[in-house]
Amino acid sequence: MAVDVNKPKPITLDTFTRGIWKENPVFVMLLGMCPVLAVTNSTMNALAMGLATMFVLVCSSTLVSLMRHLIPKQVRIATYIVIIATFVTIVDYLIQAISLELYKALGAFIQLIVVNCIILGRAEAYASKHRVTKAVVNAVGMGVGFAIGLLALGTVRELLGSGTLLGFSVFGSSFQPWAIMVLPPGGFFVLGSWLLLFSWLEERKTRKSEEAEIEGEVAHGA
C-alpha cells in the first residue's frame, strides 16, 4: 500500500470498489473472522452486524483522517483505540434502542467490534494517510465488502440451516433443516466453500491471462 502522501491522487472508482472485490476483508484479506463465523447464523444478524461494523468503520476513519496531522505517531494506536471504542459504545446503545431482540442475538459481538482488525487496520493503513473524503469512500467500500461477506455466509446458512430467508419460509414445510449449518461448524463449512469458489475464480483468471501472454509472445516471436 505504498502511497505518496505529498501528491494526493484523485478519488477513483477503485478507492471504493477495492474493499468490495480486490481487497474484500472477508474473502481476500481474511480479516475479522470472529464475527464472520459467529453471528452469520441468520441473514438478519449478518446484516445488522455488517451495518454496525460499517458505521464504526466509517465514523472512526473520518475522525482519524481529520486528526491525522494532530496525532503524534508515538500515541497513535492508543488514540485510534479510544476513537474506535467510542463509536462501538455508540452503536451498542443505538442497537439497544432499535431492538432488544437483535441486541440479544448479536450478544458480545457488538462490543467485540472494538478489536475488529479491519477497523484498526483501515485507521492505521489508510485513514491516517489520506484526505477525509478519500478515507470515507474507502471505508464505505470496505464496510460494504465486509457486509457482503457476512451476508454471503448468513443467507446460505439460514437457507440450509432453517429453510428460511429473513425469517420467511422458502422451501416449505417438507424441508428438513440442516441444523449443523446454524451451529458453529456450519460457519466454517460455508466460509470454506466460499473461499474455495473465490480461489478457483482467481486461479482461472490467472491461468487465462498466462495463456493469453504465452499466445501473445508466440505471435510476437513469429
Partner 1 sequence: MSTEGQIPNLEQPPGPGKIIKVLGGVAMLSGLLVVLTYQLTLPTIMENRRIAREKAVLSVIPGATSFIEFMLSEHEGLIRVKADGSTKVPEGMVDPVYAGYDNAGQFMGVALEAGAQGYQDVVRTLYGYSPPCECIVGMTVLESKETPGLGDKVETDPDFIANFKALEAKLSGDKKALANPIETVKHGTKKHPWQIDAISGSTVTSNAIGKGLNNSAQRLLPLLRYHLDEFEIEQ
Q: Which residues of this protein are in contact with partner 1, per CB under 8 A?
A: 41, 67, 70-72, 74-75, 78-79, 82-83, 85-87, 89-90, 93-94, 96-97, 99-100, 104, 107, 161-162, 177, 179, 182-183
Minimum Å gap between C-beta 185 and partner 1 is 11
Contact 158, 165 (CB under 8 A): yes
| Closest CB to partner 1 among residues 148, 181 | 181
For 164, phi then psi, to 5°, come to -125, 165
Nearest in space to 192 (alpha carbons), one of 6, 21, 36: 36
Q: Which three cell numbers stand for residue 39?
A: 453471528
| Residue 184 CB, nearest approach to partner 1 (Å) | 9
**What is the C-alpha separation between 211 and 217, in angstroms, rounded?**
10
Note whether 125 and 64 are within 8 A (CB). no
Least spacing, CB of residue 6 vs partner 1, in Å: 15
Q: Which is nearer to partner 1, 28 or 48 (CB)?
A: 48
> What minimum distance in Å lies between the beta carbon of 83 and partner 1?
7
Which residue number, 94 or 212, has a Cβ lying nearer to partner 1?
A: 94
Which lies closer to partner 1 via its Cβ, residue 93 or residue 188? 93
The residues, any chain, with a CB within 8 Å of residue 103's CB and separated by 6 or more, are 95, 96, 110
